[in-house]
Structure 1
Amino acid sequence: MTRASEQIPVDTLPDPERLLGDALPDILADCHDWIGRIDAITRLEGGNVSHVFRVEGTRGSVVLKVRSATFVRIPSMRTDPALIGDERRALEVYGALAPSMFPRVLAFHPQAHAMIMTDVFPDRRSYEDHLQERAGTSEELARLGTAVRYVHEATKDVQVPIRSQGDLWFREHTFNYSLRASGHPVLERVCQELSAEEPQRLVLGDLAPKNLSLADGRVAFCDLDNVHRSRPVFDVGYLLAHILLHHIDQPEHLPALLSALLDAYYADRPPSLRTLQLVATVAAGVIFYRLDNSMVPYRLGTSALRRQQVRRSVARLLDRGPITPDSLHDAVAGAP
């Protein structure tokens, strides 16, 4: 099994010609139709599952995504390349309901397991890239909370199946790696509660800063590879966890950031105490997932010691009983 230290370095990954072979000319012809003469093709970092490239031309840029039979950075993990069709289906659903927030599929090549999409990152950087350099702002988190609320409302009645394996199967798969992996009994009970609640609605499933842009005053989401049916609190808790993690060493910013995010998301429907407890517990599980997972290490600009301190503090909090976003913030900020 490939460990973190054995991840394939980006500079050793195949270029598009090696990856796509005879399919490349047709794919580049489709890119040319949208961006003119092709000037450069650059591999984008950050993902572990698919190969992603930015193709630049005289009239702009597009994104080329290719899925193969193994995870791109973890070749010991096998996958079905045809699952790129699930992401295409998700993009069609979300793009029809919130077109300004998601990439549009410009061309799909099922035999090559490749698709060409609009480039929705105007500054060529993800929100994670920005958070590596500075703290978030309340304005950004409010804008993000409003956008996530809009997406959840826009898709609440969608009945189209997304996952080839089944949306509810994928929900349990997601719970297994992002919540259950730590083995904490509170997280198992929350998984059961979220599975039992109705209605099960579409969620983005990987609502992390690496998969979104807040540039130019807009909000855009990408990488819909994890869309499935669950409860919206899963997305909210997942996002909350990443905001906490990216401010481990700047905890003074967290009260304003968490308030901005949650106030914006729940602006027109104040949450119950139980809803806030579920959001916080999902966030705690995702914190464990990001701090514990050596197979898919998460990029954080903090020390290994600080990671351990935060993990222990959050575990003690879960041991004591129901938690809230405020108590989770205190555990992260006050970890000795």
Structure 2
Amino acid sequence: MSRPSREIVLDPDNVLGYLRERGVLRADEPARAERMSGGVSNEVLTVSGESVDVVVKQALERLRVQEEWLADPSRILAEADALVLVGELTPDDIPPVIDVDRENLILTIARAPRDWKNWKTELLAGRASEAVAVRLGEALARWHSATAGRPELSSRFDQDHFRELRISPYYLWSAGCNPEVSAAIGELADSLLAPGRCLVHGDFSPKNVLTDGDAAWVLDWEVAHYGHPVFDVAFLSSHLLLKSIHRPERATAYHRCAEAFLGSYRHALSPTLHLDDRELALHTACLLLARVDGKSPVEYLGPEGQDRVRSLAIDTLTRSDSAIETLWENSAQQYGY
């Protein structure tokens, strides 16, 4: 894939001038720019003024993780295109696109209301909103259903970024760390790279959800591709399971959240698509393993929690009767509740 050259690299000192040149910010309008922290894959800046309140993103070629992890920064264009597409389907569930700079690989989107919370932060604090989970399940099912059976989208949203950002650093890296399940993980990875079925977000994680407890925006579509819908469902399921292992005293709340998400997703999903329960459990297990042995381990689990996740995932990948509820039941049995 050819990579567009970029003439500028944004920072808080030059972003205001950049937005004025793009016509997003008035020439005479004072504004404030700040760098957002916490992301590993993008340079993210916020700019606020009298007429603007936006987030400006520029994708990094080398991600901010311990292991070397390189990815094509043109993925920002896939994110922009995905936001435009799903914005036509559910405009209330994503941030509006303000500007796309295809030459410099920069995306400008609206900023969420200041009182909205990051759902990952809320979950880690033990506040597991079933209402948010239901909304996410419904939105995801609508995106999957509305884009199913549209093979023309496969060239617009190819799987290159998905290979770079998910298959290699998640599935294949963790397979190399766990040879007893490497063959099983390899087969599951191959299944995700088969001809696509619908538009897949690719990073459907609580950290990419901003919410006021009812409304919600889903962010960070840079791994969007035409692929297998089970990946998005497994991705969120794995995160809720990880939270339950991190905070076992709130495991029941996380489990109910997961059930609400899956129930609303299944209810809203088109009959042309099918969510296979065993397949969901196996991919959830792969993603659990990836978050302790992959290139981007979760930061909130200590050695004991990592061992529990690893044991749970490997057990699931070697069972013949794997199911998503079995995953939750086995996790609960580890803690005796």
| TM-score, with structure 2 as normaliser | 0.81
1:117 aligns with 2:128: no
Question: Which residue in 2 is equivalent to 1:167?
Answer: 158
Letter in 1 for 2:264: A
Identity of aligned residues (%): 22
What is the Cα-based RMSD across aligned positions, in Å?
Answer: 3.2
Question: Which residue in 2 is equivalent to 1:275?
Answer: 276
CA separation of 1:240/1:303 partners in 2, compared to 1, >3 Å: closer, same or farther? same
Worse overlay, 244-253 or 273-282: 273-282
Unaligned runs of 5+ in 2: 1-8, 176-180
Question: Which residue in 2 is equivalent to 1:317?
Answer: 316
Deviation of residue 233 (structure 1)? 1.2
Letter in 1 for 2:25: H
Deviation of residue 278 (structure 1)? 0.9
CA separation of 1:31/1:136 partners in 2, compared to 1, >3 Å: closer, same or farther? same
Q: Distance in 2 between matches of 1:222 and 1:58?
A: 24
CA separation of 1:256/1:65 partners in 2, compared to 1, >3 Å: closer, same or farther? same
| Contact map agreement 1:51 1:72 (CA 8 A) in 2 | no
**1:244-302 C-alpha deviation (Å, 9 max, x unpaired):** 11222222224322221111111156999970111111111111111223x433232x4
Letter in 2 for 1:189: E
Question: Which residue in 2 is equivalent to 1:303?
Answer: 302
Deviation of residue 170 (structure 1)? 4.3
Question: Which residue in 1 is equivalent to 2:62?
Answer: 70
CA separation of 1:292/1:335 partners in 2, compared to 1, >3 Å: closer, same or farther? farther
| TM-score, with structure 1 as normaliser | 0.81
Question: Which residue in 1 is equivalent to 2:139?
Answer: 147
Q: Distance in 2 between matches of 1:124 and 1:325?
A: 31
CA separation of 1:234/1:118 partners in 2, compared to 1, >3 Å: closer, same or farther? same
Pick the aligned partner of 1:98 from 86, 90, 98: 90
Q: Distance in 1 between matches of 2:147 and 2:92?
A: 14
What secondary structure, in the 3-state scheme, does the structure 2 residue paired with 1:260 have?
Answer: helix
Q: Distance in 1 between matches of 2:189 and 2:71?
A: 25
Q: Distance in 2 between matches of 1:259 and 1:189?
A: 27
Q: How many residues align?
A: 315
| Contact map agreement 2:75 2:161 (CA 8 A) in 1 | no
Letter in 2 for 1:303: G
Unaligned runs of 5+ in 1: 1-12
| Contact map agreement 1:94 1:155 (CA 8 A) in 2 | no
Q: Distance in 2 between matches of 1:213 and 1:162?
A: 28
Q: Distance in 2 between matches of 1:162 and 1:48?
A: 27
| Contact map agreement 2:285 2:316 (CA 8 A) in 1 | no
Q: Distance in 2 between matches of 1:192 and 1:265?
A: 24
CA separation of 1:286/1:270 partners in 2, compared to 1, >3 Å: closer, same or farther? same
Pick the aligned partner of 1:191 from 174, 189, 201: 189
What secondary structure, in the 3-state scheme, does the structure 1 residue paired with 2:54 have?
Answer: strand
Letter in 2 for 1:16: P
Deviation of residue 129 (structure 1)? 1.8
CA separation of 1:97/1:122 partners in 2, compared to 1, >3 Å: closer, same or farther? farther
Pick the aligned partner of 2:12 from 7, 13, 16: 16
Question: Which residue in 1 is equivalent to 2:25?
Answer: 32
CA separation of 1:160/1:99 partners in 2, compared to 1, >3 Å: closer, same or farther? farther
Question: Which residue in 2 is equivalent to 1:126?
Answer: 118
